[in-house]
Structures are given as C-alpha cells and as structure tokens.
Chains A and B, each alone.
Chain A
Amino acid sequence: MTNYQGNMTIVSKRELVKDVYEMILEGDGASYIRAPGQFINIKINDSLQPYLRRPMSICDYDENHITLIFRVVGEGTKILAAKHIGEQLDCLIGLGNGFVDLDKKSAVVIGGGLGVPPMYKLAKELVKNGTKVTAILGFNSVSDVFYKEKFEQICPTYIATMDGSIGYKGTVVDVLENHQLEMEVYYSCGPEKMLDALALKYPENGYLSFEARMGCGFGACMGCSCKVKTKPYKRICVEGPVLLSSEVIVNG
C-alpha cells in the first residue's frame, strides 16, 4: 500500500503572520511521503460538515513529522486554525507526484504567497544533494512575509513584494528576468497567474506545482483533471500537482 490513511497529532501551532498558520503534525504517516511537493488531504473534523477533505501542501517533513502552512480562507481552514495542540487529524498521505530531478547543478525555487511552503523542503533537499539553489519568494506586502529567515539560512534568497515594502518591488518573474541566476532547472508553486507567466516566459526546464478543487485527492473522482500538451489530461492529484512547464496549457 503506497498511500496512508490515519491520524496525525497536532504538536505545534503558531500564527506566522495574520491568518497564516504553521502547524506541525506528528505520526507514522509522515514516512509515506516520497518526495517534496507531495500533498496531504485532511478531514477537518469527524462530522459531515465540512464534508470533503482539505488538500494542503507540505512545507517540511521527516519520518515522524509534517509541517503545514495554511491561510484561513474559508470554513475548513477556520476550523483547522482553531484546533488545539494534542488534537488529532484524519489524514491521507503519500498523495501526488512531488518534485523530481533533484540532482541538477543549479536550481531556482520560486514561491508565491501560500505557494512558498512546499519550496522550503524542496530547497533543503536540493542543497543536501549539492545543487546550487537560489530562492525567490513573492508576497503582496511586508506584512505577509513568512519564512524569510528560514530560507536565508539554507540558500541566497530574494524577496519580491507587489508594493515594494520589502525587497524588490514587483513579481517573482521580474526578479528572475532582472538577475543572472544560475538555473539549470526551476521549480515553482504559487497563484495560477504566476505559474502561467513562468510557463510562458520560461517554457523549458521548469516544474510547476498547481492547486485545484478536489473531490478525493487520490485519483478517483476526476474532479481536478486539466488538459496538458503531453496527454489528453492529467489529474492534478495523481499525475500532478507538479507539471512540466513545457506541457502546461496556459488558460487551458
């Protein structure tokens, strides 16, 4: 069995910036994660409300722990943010393809907003493998910035904000265009507009991680299928969430 369902215990919770929480879960299920960029699907509570699980990216993990970072945007994340340390969550783990090709000489990791978290474990793994890594993290404003110091501890890190209140004024794509960064390959996660911009400007050698509304998260319902150039369609939850920049159909 390659997928896991079971309980994980909340062992840490803190608000990083307004409405954005870091939560650390502990349990055996963490050992089912096979690559950075895979995701977790959480049943928020035991009742029928909310009915569906909530898919979330994984920021960091080891054999026994999973770190999540999420923003409170609706009913499910509101309930999740109100959970206490010691409470358990029913989780599906081992989902999605994750990032591959982690053995290149140089790489740029690009995160936008809540697309920043999965870049963290990825950057750590790349550095461990001897890849020269640069991080570009984009946020709306200085008040939204999180994990800046954490990234700076592992690799050179550029911050971009839309209002210029910290770092570069502009988008992560602007940073990429205006700097000569060593980039045999790049990896990115963030808003669809940002991923589309990257796919258009840098169609080669990129890995883009997408999100989608999902029914199940493990390939059964076809709720998250998207058209790609390489196949009639890929399920974001199984053949994704990471797609090649060269196969993405912008606005597809």
Chain B
Amino acid sequence: MANLRVKLPGLDMKNPVIPASGTFGFGYEFAKFYDINVLGSMMLKGTTLEPRYGNPLPRIAEGPSGMLNAIGLQNPGVEAVMNEELEKLRPLYTDKVIANIGGSAIDDYVETAKRLSTHDMVGALELNISCPNVHCGGIQFGTNPEMAAEVTKAVKAVSQKPVYVKLSPNVTDIVAMAKAVEAAGADGITMINTLVGMRFDIKTGKPIIANKTGGYSGPAIFPVALRMVYQVSQAVQIPVIGMGGIASGKDAIEMMIAGASAVAIGCQNLVDPYACPKIIDEMNDILEQMGIEDIHAIIGKSHQY
C-alpha cells in the first residue's frame, strides 16, 4: 500500500479523493451504494443562507464527454443543512467534511459561513464565488479580483475553520484571481468550477437548458483544468485542490502532478456512483506499479518543466 494520506488546512485525509460539491448531495445518497467512510473528505452541496429552489427544468443537457448543468444552487438553506442534512450524514461518515457556501451578497456569505463553521462535522469551508448559474449568485465575486478578495477577507474574519475559495475558469487571468484570494487570507484554493456553455434544439433553435446557459463539466474539460492548476499552484503558497473532468485514478495522479495537493471528483460520480472508491484503488495501484511509496512525491512533479 502506498501512503495516500494528505494533510491540508482543516483536513487530515486518509487519501486525497474528495467528491466535488453539487455532485454528491449531502453524501447519504451514495451510502446506498457503498461505505462512504473510504473517502478522504467530501464537499457538500452548495448552501445558502435561505432555502433556494433553483432554476426551472430542464437543468441538464449532455455534450461530448461531459454534461451541462444549471441547477441554480437548489438547497434547503443553512439551518436545514445543519440540523437535518448533516444529521442524516452523521451516522454514515466519521471524517470532517467541507461545507460549500454560496450567496448573492457579502453579508450572505458571512452569515452562512459564521454558522456552518461552528458545526462539529465541518473541517473547512469552500467559498463558491464561481457558480455560473445564478444571477447575482456569486460569479461577480469570481471574475473580479478585488471583489473576490473582499468576500474572502470578510468570511475569514468570522470563520472558525480554514477557508478555501473555489475559482471559476471563466476569467481572463485565473492566476490573478488566485493571488488576490491568497493575499486576502484564503487557506486554500479549489479549482476549477464549470465552464459556461450552451446547447440548442436544432428544430426550434431554443436552448435546451431553461436557464439558457449552464456549466460544462466532465472529461472534456480535464486538460483545461490541468493547465489552470499547473499555473496557479506555482503562483501561490497555499494548497490547491484540483478538479475538473477527473474520471480515473490515472487522471487523479495527473492532476496532482500538475500541482494539486488533493483532488475532487465531480460529475463522474453521477455517471458511476462508485467513481470515488474506484479512483482511490486505482491511485494506489498506479503508485505501487511506479514504485512510489508516498503520494507527496508526485505533487507538483511537473513544475520542473
């Protein structure tokens, strides 16, 4: 067995594999398939101060090696997440989870973060400043470095747990965004969120997604994610959790070689509910075949080139 244990701010993980927010609900649906305690951690469904229904249907469309979604941050609100959803998860998962926070204004983020960061099951927060599917849903913070820094600073001031900021790929210079949130006190970066895309019905010309645009994810975006993680992880001192199209143990290893200290698995969970446990096993097998005893040996291995 290779050593897969990684330690990141707020998270002491037996392996670096984390289901990504929005593709794993609040975890318990996957316990119908397997013992979710095998996971390093998990990123909870994006949570807002008030309950949100989200966007009208259809919210899902398909594309080459990927999918487009515009859920619109559907969630039952922070109080129900803390009192109901996390209580359903408690008997099923013993390690710390990462609470993902969405909002429309700085005050929303601050209030939600203040409450969630006190929860005993939460090891860290992930600020979603990059949801492309909600009007005034955070993307304005995710495309402007000054605003990203402002919301990061405000949340850091109230959070009792480390704060990760989730970056959008829909920007001209993602390194500038990363540096801005690092300077504002972020403990880590998670990246990348989805790429904004569309599909149309060729008979009517109408967008398939009711929201018109959605976020594209899946293996199709993997090389884009690798490139961005490669750039950002060399430009900042804080750890990067890499995600975007990872579908196998080999992909996860490649993402860590690009510079990620851990990986998140997104829509592959939807296609294959066993994606995460399979990836954990495959990572171990690959490291053993390569004669590598500790996962840390590969983190950022590409940076010499």
Question: Is B29 in contact with A220, judged by CB distance below 8 angstroms?
Answer: yes
Residues in A neighbouring B91, C-beta threshold 8 A: none
B59 contacts which of A48, A216, A223, A232 (Cβ < 8 Å)? A223
Q: Which of A49, A214, A226 lies in contact with B65, CB distance below 8 A?
A: A49
Interface residues of B: mostly helix, strand, loop or mixed? loop
| A222, CB-defined interface residue at 8 Å | yes
A53 and B268 alpha carbons, distance in the complex (Å): 11
Known contacts A213-B58, A220-B25; A233/B53 CB under 8 A: yes
Cα–Cα, bound, A216→B218 (Å): 13
Pairwise interchain contact A221-B273, C-beta atoms closer than 8 A: no
Q: Which of A41-81 contact B (CB under 8 A)?
A: 43, 48-53
Beta-carbon contact of B54 and A225 below 8 Å: yes
Q: Of B34, B53, B71, which is within 8 A of A221 by CB?
A: B71
Which one, B34, B54, B63, contacts A51 given CB within 8 A?
A: B63
Most chain B CB inside 10 Å of its own CB: which residue of A94, A215, A218 = A215
Q: Does B64 belong to the interface (CB within 8 Å)? A: yes
Contact: A222 with B71, CB < 8 Å?
A: yes
Chain B residues in 8 Å Cβ range of A48: 64-65, 218-219, 247
B92-120 to A contact mask, C-beta < 8 Å, 1/0: 00000000000000000000000000000
Chain A neighbourhood of B64, CB < 8 A: 48-49, 51
- Judge if A175 is at the interface, Cβ distance under 8 Å: no
How close is B213's CB to chain A, nearest CB, in angstroms?
15
| Identity of the chain A residue whose Cβ is nearest the Cβ of B247 in the assembled complex | A48
Is A212 engaged at the interface, CB distance under 8 Å to the other chain?
yes
Cross-chain contact B271 with A219 (CB below 8 angstroms): no
Interface residues on B, range: 35 or more
B32 touches A212 (CB 8 A): no
Cβ B74 vs Cβ A222 within 8 A: yes
B23 at the interface (CB under 8 A from A): yes
CB pair B71–A223 under 8 Å, yes or no, is: yes
- Total interface residues in chain A, CB < 8 Å: 31
Q: Is the CB of B51 within 8 A of A232?
A: yes
Write the B251-272 contact mask toward A (1 if CB under 8 angstroms, else 0). Answer: 0000000000000000101111
Evaluate contact between A51 and B65: CB separation under 8 angstroms.
yes
Interface presence of A166 (CB below 8 A): no
Question: Shortest CB–CB separation between residue A53 and chain B, in angstroms?
Answer: 6
- Interface residue? A5 (CB, 8 A): yes
* Nearest CB in chain B: distance from A98 CB, A: 15
**8 A Cβ contacts from A208-242 to B:** 212-216, 218-227, 232-233, 238
Q: Is the CB of B270 within 8 A of A3?
A: no
Chosen A-B contacts, 24 in total, with CB atoms closer than 8 Å, are A2-B32, A3-B32, A3-B33, A3-B273, A50-B62, A51-B67, A51-B219, A52-B270, A53-B271, A213-B61, A214-B60, A218-B29, A218-B32, A220-B23, A220-B29, A220-B273, A221-B71, A224-B57, A226-B57, A227-B53, A232-B51, A233-B53, A233-B54, A238-B29
Interface residues of B (CB under 8 A from A): 22-25, 29-30, 32-34, 45, 51, 53-54, 57-67, 69, 71, 74, 76, 218-219, 247, 267, 269-274
Chain A positions near chain B (C-beta within 8 angstroms): 1-3, 5, 43, 48-53, 92, 94, 212-216, 218-227, 232-233, 238
